[in-house]
Amino acid sequence: MNKIIYIALSIILAYIFIFMLPFAWSAIFAAIPLLLLKPKNSFIAGFLIGIIAPLSIYVIYPINYVLKLSNILGNIVGFPAFIILIIFPLIYGIIMAISAAIWSGLYDKVKK
Amino acid sequence: MAILLVLLLIFSYVSMNFNILNPANGAYQTINYANYTSGNFNVPGLYASVEVVMDNSGLAHIYAKNDHDLFLAQGYFMASNRLFQMEVQAMAASGNLSSWIGQSGIPSDQAIRLIGLPEQATMLMNSYEKNYPDYYNDVVAFSQGVNDFINASKVPLNFKLLGVQPFYWSPFYTLVWEEYMTWMLTTGAYEPLESALFFNTFGYENTTLIWPYYPYFTENITMVPGDGTVNGYNLTDQGISQQYLWSLNWYDQWATGINTTLLKNLTPLIKYAINNISDPLILPEPRFLENSIGSNSWIVTSNYSSSGYPMLANDPHLNLFAPSVWIPMQLSDPDFNVTGWALAGIPGILIGHTNRTAWGLTTPEGNSANEYLEILNGNKYLFDGSWHRMTILNYTLLGKTYSIYYTNNGPLIAKYENYGISLNWVASKPGYILIAELKLDQSQNYSDMLDALKYWSYPPQNFALVSLHSAGYITAGLYPLINETLPDGQHVQVIGSRSLLNGSMLEYQYSGYVPYKYLPQDKNPERGYMFAPNQPTVGKNYPFPFIGGFWASGGRAESINAFLKDHPGMSIENMIQLQSNLSDYWASMLKPYIINAIKGMYMNETEKTAFNYLQGWNATAYISSIGMTIYWYTLSEIYNLSINRILNFYGLGGIQEPFESTIIYILQHNQSSPWVNGNFTKLARESFSDAIGFLYSKLGSNVSSWFWGRVHRVEISSILGIPALSIGPIPFYGDDHTVSVGAVPFNIQIPEPNVTVSSSLREIAIPGNGTFLGVFPGGPSENVLSYYFSNQLPYWLDHKYYNMNKWTSEVNWTYE
């Protein structure tokens, strides 16, 4: 039960940071509640929360505009629209996964 | 753990480059502002609430209860649609672009500072505040509206893309942008320099042959009908023979104060000057005798109109940008009721109509700037026999300090050892064109418009004017005069020069300006119409000869003249027909020479088919025209094999090629001229073969598929030059000389370089019966995601119009 609360807390923090701050490294702080999970689980949970939370935000916009803007941004930097759509969530997920693992590892060390 | 920490640091660092892709508050957030929804907005500073209605064409109707609120609301509305455009324009115009885009902005900033735009805008702002506080307050209110939007809103998309933040607007930015537009439309900044280069290289005979004072065939198609007499005054009244005056060598020492041998030695300095004042943002290459920015306008008097009311048509040709420099709107309060197109960043309506008047603008191509040769000694310059210390202005860009030196004539735009070239531009003194604009916006009759234009200082513009019952033109603005002593001892005040003037001699200084009464003008002409698509404005008997007149070829003027002459009883349909006209007048004259030259030559099957298309071609530039493609590539090769080869040989590659009308003149008089390689028949045959061979290799053997729109396309470029934010390329009609213009250079390439200059708006007005039609290639919004980014483009491409008097409401806002 506690694990679910930690995960829920992390999800809430992830959304708050994504909405409040432009920086993907804010995922470091969104991962803090996951320190109570085992390192491997916290890594997986962090990655999933980190990638799904920003991805899910696209649904607040009309999908045709999301695709159009992704195409435009992709044309500017020379990447396919799909990469533009996925790159921020992916980086956010990776940072959150690594952070969660680090927080969890530190917690384990402190506990010992 | 250590590895994870290192990875975290690396990913966190890398992630900083992707903040813009944050779905919640990065670029995607701007999707929320892509479309408009009705509602109320809190706009601080308003005295009363303001209603804003967006109609089905994207034109915003702003209804205020007083002038302060009207301009404040206009500023708020403009910023809400065009803030990035306004600010990037202001940055460019104030010579501060490098602060946004770094080192790559330095060359542009240097050119702009050298020309003096920021100093002039500051001087103008102070002058408005002191001398015209009411008008200054209008600009202050406009600025407050812009800043209200900045305070209330999220950062628009383009700011996010560029990674910069909006800055607060002030009257300075409005005025500096106004100065920038003035500079773009000023004649005389480059032309005398370029003309001097041509003279230095080819001598007087060739220069007058290739660049005559009046372009060939234009003497009888001037804007003001007749011989040049204006309000009863002409050269003859001064006892001066026009034949004598126009036969003189105006490059000679008596006219400029500069020995022609010395002038020849100044060629590198002249080229240096052209480079220094060429803003690379506007002109990727230094400009030479370029006339690509032109415009069309004409008026029809009540006697010549089927409706019995005077009519007006205008389409100013400017660089097409996405978003457009224009934004359509109506401004309404107890003092104003005006509809038309405002320039983004500037209050009021520049081109448009009231219920009783309408006006349009074209550029008259006569010098309002001139260049002076300065004799220098260290930091001193020679003037009227004594040495004077130059004024030095320092400025800093990205931490490096630069200096500008001023003589009594203006800034030194080039300097080498003991010689310099200074730019004397009328805009170096305050001119109140905003007052003229706002007075036009309130005009109720023809004389109101004439009174308003007394304030119009620069750049001189041909104003087409119509009221309920009158129609006419005036070329309003300041034309500096130079008091010349002719070789026969007579004195005459002339406008501009063909070459550098001697800045150290008192006699070549400005002696005043053309009096308003004698500016080129006419009203309700007897023949029933007037037109001003950049051809000479007045005939050769004009009392103040345009020595510095660098007119367009007159091809569009010929087409307009022919059409109007053939259509007594002009209807609104005829006006539309003429504005969409795709006949190339010069092509219709030149084609028979080409056909005659090539018809006897040996041809392969492809050439025979192409020849048949060319022979049957009616000199029109429709997208579907095949003859146009064949003509254009053949003509381009004619230029490349003859004139361009000569210009390149003498180090003038890139200079504007002579007009087609000059080629026609040469062919009429001497088909063995060295300018057509001594044998036009041989040249035309070789060019035709080359052109067809090239088209065959690029477009295939099926000549019937070589239609113009396949090689000729328009691109409406983003102001950042980013293709993904641009519109097009789209197959496009027209060429340099069609009324519906689509100018491209003489290039042998597939496709041709994209058309980037064309009709920036189209206006047709009949105040007498309340008909006001308009369209422009864009929409009110700069948000590339918005429908209103380019909602009028399909109509513009199809030569269709919106009825600006009949509309339906789409969105309603209340500013309070």
| A30 CB within 8 Å of a chain B CB | no
Side chain identity at B815, as an amino acid letter?
Y
Whether A73 maps to a domain, the answer reads no
The whole-angstrom separation of Cα B465 and Cα B453 is 11
Strands B480-485 and B491-495, by their bridges, are antiparallel
Residue B251 has pLDDT above 80, yes or no: yes
What lies within 8 Å, CB to CB, of A59 at 6+ separation is none
* Tokens encoding B801: 């119009």
* Count of H-run helices and E-run strands, chain B: 25, 32
Residue-level pLDDT at B319: 87
Asked whether residue A101 is domain-assigned, the answer is yes
CB B483 within 8 A of CB B393: no
pLDDT tens column, B502-533: 999 999 999 999 999 999 999 999 999 999 99
In a domain, A69, yes or no: no
Helix intervals (H) in chain A: 2-20, 27-30, 39-57, 63-77, 81-111
Structure-derived torsion over alpha carbons of residues B490, B494, B496, B502, reported in degrees to the nearest 10:
30
pLDDT confidence of residue A36: 85
Count other C-beta atoms under 10 Å from residue A60's C-beta: 13
CA distance A30 to chain B (A): 14
Note whether B2 contacts A: Cβ–Cβ < 8 A: no
| B725 touching chain A per CB within 8 A | yes
Give the mean pLDDT of A66-87.
91
Does residue B14 sit at the A interface (CB-CB below 8 Å)?
yes
pLDDT at B746 (0 to 100): 85
> Across residues B57-69, what is the average pLDDT?
97
Q: Does A79 touch chain B (CB under 8 A)?
A: no
Res A22: pLDDT: 85
pLDDT at B284: 42
- Taking alpha carbons only, the member of B717, B733, B736 closest to residue B725 is B717
Cα separation, A86 vs A54, whole angstroms: 9
d(CA B243, CA B248): 9
Q: Under a CB-based contact definition with an 8 Å cutoff, are residues B195 and B207 in contact?
A: yes
Provide the token pair at B2. Answer: 């250590």
Pairwise CB contact (< 8 Å): B24 & A18:
yes
Angstrom distances, CA of residue A77 to CA of B297, B322, B814: 42, 19, 39
Min distance A70 CA to chain B CA atoms (Å):
9
Query: Residue B293's pLDDT is what?
Result: 64
Asked if the structure places residue A71 within a domain, the reply is no
pLDDT higher than 70, residue B282: no
pLDDT in the model for residue B278: 75
The residue in chain B having the minimum alpha-carbon distance to the alpha carbon of residue A23 is B19
For residue B9, name the pLDDT band (cuts at 50, 70, 90): confident
Most confident of A58-62, A96-100, B690-694: B690-694
* Of B205, B213, B190, B212, residue with least CA distance to B270: B190
- Report, as an integer, the average pLDDT of B184-198: 90
Average pLDDT of every residue of chain B: 94
Is A65 within 8 Å of B725 when comparing Cβ atoms?
A: no
A50 touches chain B (CB under 8 A): no
Considering only CA atoms, which of B302, B582, B277 is closest in space to residue B425? B277
Mean pLDDT of A51-56: 94
Lowest-pLDDT range, B14-18, B130-134, B157-161, B275-279?
A: B275-279
C-alpha pair distances (Å), B120 with each of B183, B369, B429, B478, B657: 12, 15, 7, 16, 34
CA dist., res. B64 & res. B46, Å (int)? 10
The confidence band for B288, taking pLDDT boundaries of 50, 70 and 90, is: very low
Report the chain B residue with the minimal C-alpha distance to residue A66. Answer: B28
| Contact across the interface for B27 and A73, Cβ inside 8 Å | yes
Q: Where are the beta strands (DSSP E) in B64-180?
A: none
Three-class DSSP category at B163: coil
Please check whether residue A50 lies inside any domain of the structure: yes
Whether the per-residue pLDDT at B433 is higher than 60: the answer is yes
B26 touching chain A per CB within 8 A? yes
Give the mutation candidate from B5, B9, B10, B11 for the A interface (greatest A CB count, under 10 A): B11
Angle at the Cα of B483 from the Cα atoms of B479 and B485, rounded to 5 degrees: 145
pLDDT tens, position by position, B357-391: 999 999 998 999 999 999 999 999 999 999 999 99
A99/B19 touch (CB, cutoff 8 Å), yes or no: no
Q: DSSP string of B460-471?
A: -EEEEEE-SS-E
Which residue from B minimizes the CA distance to A106?
B1
d(C-alpha B556, C-alpha B217), whole Å: 12
Residues of the domain holding A17 = 2-59+86-111
Report the predicted TM-score, pTM, of the whole model to 2 decimal places.
Answer: 0.93
Q: Does residue A78 sit at the B interface (CB-CB below 8 Å)?
A: no
CA-based nearest residue in chain A for residue B786? A65
* Residue B103 pLDDT exceeds 70: yes
| Residue B33: per-residue pLDDT | 82
Alpha helices in B222-279 (DSSP H): 242-246, 253-256, 260-265, 267-276
| Range 753-812 of B in CB contact (< 8 A) with A | 784-785
Under an 8 A CB cutoff, do B8 and A99 touch?
yes
Query: Using alpha carbons only, what angle is made at residue B166 by residues B328 and B92, rounded to the nearest 5 degrees?
Result: 70
Chain B within 8 Å of A84 (Cβ-Cβ)? Answer: yes
Residue B536 per-residue DSSP state: -
> Closest Cα to residue B190, out of B246, B115, B133?
B115
How far apart are alpha carbons B507 and B127 in whole angstroms? Answer: 30
**Contact flag A57-B19 (C-beta cutoff 8 Å):** no
pLDDT at B290 over 80: no
Give Cα separations from B230 to B80, B514, B668 (angstroms): 46, 12, 33
Is the bond preceding B459 in cis, omega lying within 30 degrees of 0?
A: yes
If one compares A19 and B32, the residue with the highest pLDDT of the two is A19
Question: In chain A, how many domains are there?
Answer: 1
A19 touches chain B (CB under 8 A): yes
Per-residue confidence (pLDDT) for residue B292, from 0 to 100: 56
Which residues of A fall within a CB distance of 8 Å from B26? 22, 88
Question: Cα–Cα distance between B545 and B495 in angstroms, integer?
Answer: 6
Per the prediction, chain A carries an average pLDDT of 90
d(CA B657, CA B553): 11
Nearest to A65 among B15, B725, B785 (CB): B785
User: What pLDDT shows up at residue B155?
Assistant: 81
Tell me if B390 sits within 8 A of B381, measured CB to CB: yes
Max CA-CA distance within chain A?
Answer: 52
Per-residue pLDDT at B29 exceeds 90: no
Residue B406 touches partner A, C-beta closer than 8 Å: no
Which band of pLDDT confidence, cut at 50, 70 and 90, is reported for residue B162? confident
Mean pLDDT of B132-154: 95
Question: Would an 8 Å CB–CB cutoff place B12 in contact with chain A?
Answer: yes
Q: What percent of chain B has pLDDT over 70?
A: 98
Lowest mean pLDDT among A1-5, B410-414, B470-474, B614-618: A1-5
How far apart CA B466 and CA B450 sit, in angstroms, is 11
User: Any bridge partners for residue B549, and if so which?
Assistant: B366
Give SS3 for B652: coil
Closest CA to B636 of B749, B748, B555: B748
Secondary structure E strands in B108-265: none
> Which residue segments constitute the domains of chain B, with CATH numbers given?
191-290+361-565 (no CATH), 585-710 (1.10.1400)
Per the domain annotation, does A26 fall within a domain? Answer: yes
Q: What is the C-alpha to C-alpha distance for residues B448 and A1, in angstroms, rounded to an integer?
A: 82
Spatial CA neighbour of B626 closest among B702, B552, B677, B572: B702
Residue A43 pLDDT level (bands cut at 50, 70, 90): very high
What CA–CA distance (Å, rounded) separates B705 from B701?
A: 9
Percent of chain A scoring above 70 in pLDDT? 99
As a whole number, mean pLDDT of residues B173-198 equals: 92
φ, ψ of residue B142 in degrees (nearest 5): -60, -45
Asked if residue B574 lies in contact with residue B300, where contact means CB atoms within 8 angstroms, the answer is no
Question: Is B710 within 8 Å of B752 (Cβ atoms)?
Answer: no
